[in-house]
Amino acid sequence: MVELENLKDIWKQHIDPTIDKQNIEKQEIERLLKGRSTSILEKLKRNLLLEIAMFVVCLLLVAAVPFYFNSTPVTILFIAALVFIFIPYLFYYIKKYNELNKFSIFHNDIKTSLQSLILQLEKFLKIYFYGSLILAPFSVFISALACLYEMKALGYLLYFDEFSKPTLAIILSFALVFTLLSYPILKWYLRKLYGQHIETLKEYLKELEEVE
C-alpha cells in the first residue's frame, strides 16, 4: 500500500527529474507557437469570423438585388432589409469579435476564469440563438418574395399578385413555420457545438464553489 504522506516524495523522485530532462529547444518553441490554437475562445472567434464572412456575402447579395429589379416596392423592401436587419447584425458581430479579441481569461485564477468564460459563452450563445431565430423569418420572407417576383418576371405563377394581402400572408406563414422548425435544429446545433462544454465548465465551477 502506498502511504499518502509519501506521495510528494514519489512525485519528486520520478516526475521532477523527468521534467528537467524535457527542456525544449528554441526552435521547438517557435514551431509550437506557429501552431493553431485549439482553445474555446479561438474556436468562438473562428466561428464568429465565419459568421461575419457569411453576413458580408448576404449583404452584398441583398445590396445587388435592387439593381436587377426595377419595381419600387422590391427596391424599398431590400433597402429596408439592409438597413434594419443585415447592417446592424454585421456591426454587432464585428463588435463581438473585437470584444473576444480583448477577452483574456488565462492569467486569472481558475475560479474567476471559469466564471468569465461561462458568462461569455452563455452571452454569445444566447445572442447567437435569438439573433438567428429573429433573422430566420425575415430572411425567408424576403427571399420568398424575391423568388416569387423573379418567377413572375420569367412568366411563371402569373396568377399571383406578390404584394396582395393573401400572398403576403402565405409567405409570412411559410416564414413562421420555417422559424418554428429551425428552433429545435438550432438548439441541437448550438448544444452540439458548445452546450456540452458549458455544462462541463459549470460542473467544475460548482465544484470550486461548493462550501461545506
Partner 1 sequence: MYTTNQDDHNDLFQEMILQLWKAFPSFRNEAKITTFMYRIALNTAISGIRKKKIKTTELESISFQIKETIEENFSDELKLLHASIEQLSDVEKSIVLLFLEDKPYDEIAEITGISANYVAVKMNRIKEKLRKLLNVK
With 0-12 / 13-18 / 19 or more C-beta atoms within 10 angstroms meaning exposed / middle / buried, residue 5 is: exposed
Q: Is 48 in the site for partner 1 (CB under 8 A)?
A: no
166, three cell numbers = 393573401
**Closer residue to partner 1 (CB): 161 or 207:** 207
d(CA 30, CA 19): 20
d(CA 188, CA 46): 20
Of residues 10, 49, 53, 61, which one binds partner 1 by CB under 8 A? 10
Q: Identify the three-state secondary structure at position 106.
A: coil
Counting every residue, how long is the chain?
Answer: 212
**Closer residue to partner 1 (CB): 32 or 158:** 32
Give the torsion sign (CA, 159, 163, 165, 169). positive
Question: Of the candidates 150, 133, 128, 131, which has an alpha carbon nearest to the alpha carbon of residue 78?
Answer: 150
145, three cell numbers = 418574395
**Closer residue to partner 1 (CB): 161 or 199:** 199
**If phi over 0 gives left and psi between -120 and 50 gives alpha, with beta otherwise, what is residue 178?**
alpha
Q: Which stretch binds partner 1 (CB under 8 A): 112-120, 129-137, 156-164, 165-173?
A: 112-120
Look up residue 158 and give its DSSP letter.
T
Of residues 101, 104, 164, 173, which one binds partner 1 by CB under 8 A? 104
**Closer residue to partner 1 (CB): 20 or 109:** 109
Q: Is 80 in the site for partner 1 (CB under 8 A)?
A: no
**Could you tell me the smallest distance in angstroms from the CB atom of residue 128 to partner 1?**
17
Of residues 40, 59, 151, 157, which one binds partner 1 by CB under 8 A? 40
Site string for partner 1, 162-201 (x = CB under 8 A): -----------------------------------x---x
Of residues 84, 91, 92, 111, which one binds partner 1 by CB under 8 A? 111
83, three cell numbers = 438597413
Per CB under 8 A, residues contacting partner 1 are 1-2, 4, 6-8, 10-12, 14-15, 29, 32-33, 35, 37-40, 43, 104-114, 117, 197, 201, 203-204, 207-208, 211-212
